[in-house]
C-alpha cells in the first residue's frame, strides 16, 4: 500500500495507520466521510469487524491484506460507490449484495418500507408488489419482516433481477418472492393488497449535477425520471386502481418537491385518502393512497 503522498509504505502497517492512509487518499479525492469509509475498506480488506478495528488498532496487516486495501481504496478514490466497491450494502438492517446492475438502496427508501410494513400489517396484506425492484431491497425487506406476505417484484432489467435473485437467496426468501421481468405492472396478473414503488424521479436536466458516484456509476435507467422526474410515476399512477384489491394501498417514494403533484396523480387515478410521509431530513418522501369501494 502507498501513503496518500504516493510513497510506498515500509515496515509493519497497523490497522490505525492503514485507516489513516486510506482516509487521506479518500479525502484528497473529495469523499465526504473519508474516515468512516476508510474503516469500512480496512475491515473488508482485512476480514476484521469494525469493532475489532476500534479495539485492536495496533494489529498489523499482512502484505496480502494491504494489497487488497490498496485496490479497494483506489476504486473508491475513483468515485465508485462504496457499496459497489465492497459488494454489499446494509438496508433496513439486512445485508444485501450490491453491484452496478442496480442503483444503491438509500436510507430514504427505508421510510417507504417502514410505512408499508405498518399499513400492510393493519390491512393483513397477503400479496404485495414491488414495482421497479432493482436489486430487490424493498421486496426482501418486506418479505423478511412480514412472514405471512408473498411478494411479486418486477423490473424491466434482467441484470437487476439477477441481483434481486441473489438477495432473495441470501435471505432464504426465494419461496416467497417471485421475480418478473416486466414494464411496471404489465406482467402482474393478480390484484395486490399493496403496491410499492421507488421509481426514477430525478429530472433529466438535473442528472449531470448529481455526485460522480451516482451520475457516472449507477445505472441511469434507475434514476432518470424524464423532463419533470415523474414520467414513470405518472404511468404507474394511472394503472394502480386496476391492480389493487379493495381496501389495498399504494406507497410511492418521490423526490423533493414532488409529493403534491404525485398526490394529485394518485387521486386522478382513482385512489383516495392520500397521505404524505416525510423522511429523516423532513422532506416529503413517501405518498400513500388507498383503493376504497
pLDDT of residue 73: 98
Residue 10 scores a pLDDT above 90: no
Which tens digit of pLDDT belongs to each residue from 101-120? 999 999 999 999 999 999 99
Q: Structural domains in the chain?
A: 15-78 (1.10.8), 91-290 (3.40.50.150)
pTM, full prediction = 0.92
**Mean local confidence (pLDDT), 141-153:** 97
Per-residue pLDDT tens over the stretch 232-241: 999 999 999 9
Transcribe the chain into DSSP letters. Answer: -B-TTSPBP-S--BHHHHHHHHHHHHHHTT-SSHHHHHHHHHHHHH---HHHHHH-TTPBPPHHHHHHHHHHHHHHHTT--HHHHHTEEEETTEEEE--TTSPPP-HHHHHHHHHHHHHHHHHT--EEEEET-TTTHHHHHHHHH-TT-EEEEEES-HHHHHHHHHHHHHTT-TTTEEEEE-STTTT--S-EEEEEE----B-GGGGGGS-HIIIIIS-GGGTB--TTS-HHHHHHHTTHHHHEEEEEEEEEE--TT-HHHHHHHHHHTT-EEEEEEE-TTS-EEEEEEE---
Amino acid at each position: 500500500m502507498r501513503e496518500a503522498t504516493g510513497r510506498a509504505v515500509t515496515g509493519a502497517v497497523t490497522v490505525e495507520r492503514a485507516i489513516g492512509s486510506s482516509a487521506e487518499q479518500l479525502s484528497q479525492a473529495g469523499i465526504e466521510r473519508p474516515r468512516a469509509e476508510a474503516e469500512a475498506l480496512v475491515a473488508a480488506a482485512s476480514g476484521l469487524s469494525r469493532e475489532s478495528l476500534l479495539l485492536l488498532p495496533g494489529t498489523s496487516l499482512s502484505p496480502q491484506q494491504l494489497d487488497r486495501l490498496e485496490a479497494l481504496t483506489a476504486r473508491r478514490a475513483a468515485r465508485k460507490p462504496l457499496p459497489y466497491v465492497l459488494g454489499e450494502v446494509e438496508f433496513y438492517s439486512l445485508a444485501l449484495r450490491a453491484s452496478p446492475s442496480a442503483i444503491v438502496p438509500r436510507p430514504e427508501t427505508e421510510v417507504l418500507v417502514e410505512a408499508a410494513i405498518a399499513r400492510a400489517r393493519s390491512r393483513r396484506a397477503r400479496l404485495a408488489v414491488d414495482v421497479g425492484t432493482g436489486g430487490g431491497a424493498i421486496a426482501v425487506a418486506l418479505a423478511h419482516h412480514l412472514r405471512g406476505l408473498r411478494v411479486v417484484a418486477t423490473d424491466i432489467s434482467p441484470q437487476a433481477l439477477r441481483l434481486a435473485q441473489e438477495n432473495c437467496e441470501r435471505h432464504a426468501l426465494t419461496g416467497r418472492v417471485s421475480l418478473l421481468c416486466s414494464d411496471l405492472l404489465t406482467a402482474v396478473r393478480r390484484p395486490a393488497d399493496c403496491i410499492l414503488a421507488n421509481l426514477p424521479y430525478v429530472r433529466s436536466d438535473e442528472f449531470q449535477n448529481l455526485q460522480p458516484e451516482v451520475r457516472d456509476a449507477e445505472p441511469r435507467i434507475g434514476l432518470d425520471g424524464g423532463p419533470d422526474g415523474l414520467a414513470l410515476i405518472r404511468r404507474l399512477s394511472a394503472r394502480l386502481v386496476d391492480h389493487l384489491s379493495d381496501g389495498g394501498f399504494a406507497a410511492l417514494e418521490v423526490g423533493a418537491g414532488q409529493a403534491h403533484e404525485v398526490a394529485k396523480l394518485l387521486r386522478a387515478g382513482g385512489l383516495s385518502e392520500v397521505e404524505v410521509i416525510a423522511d429523516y431530513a423532513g422532506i416529503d418522501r413517501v405518498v400513500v393512497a388507498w383503493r376504497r369501494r
